[in-house]
Amino acid sequence: MEQARTEPIRQTSKKALGINQKDAKVSLSYLTVAFVSLLIGGILGLLQGLERSGLLELPTGVNGTWHFITRCFFHYFYDWLSVCCSFAFFRGPVV
């Protein structure tokens, strides 16, 4: 259990899984978009959370748009990351 933290996981299998470098680049690109979206969504989300709690006032007019764009960026995060992972999970074992 201790060793699991730092050392590579014990390899019980001979057939190591591989994804080639070009596929890795695809997955990393999707992942980058996902985490940039998460960052934007997170900042907007905090402002929205504070607004909804009455702790902060956002300019009128921006308000409704805010709710929507926050959620959109979170969605970009889930969608891009699920594509990234599924692609990697598919190509890793199969190719």
Q: How far is the CB of 52 from other proteins (least distance, A)?
A: 6
Count of residues engaged in binding other proteins, rule: CB under 8 A: 73
Q: Is 9 within 8 Å of 82 (Cβ atoms)? A: no
**Binders of other proteins in range 40-79 (CB under 8 A):** 41-43, 45-46, 48-55, 58, 61, 63-65, 67-69, 71-73, 75-79
**Binders of other proteins in range 20-39 (CB under 8 A):** 22-24, 26-33, 35, 37-39
Under the binding rule (CB under 8 A), the answer on residue 14 touching other proteins is no
**b/e map 3-34, b = 16+ CB within 10 Å:** eeeeeeeeeeeeeeeebeeebeeebeebbebb
Site of tokens 């748009």: 65
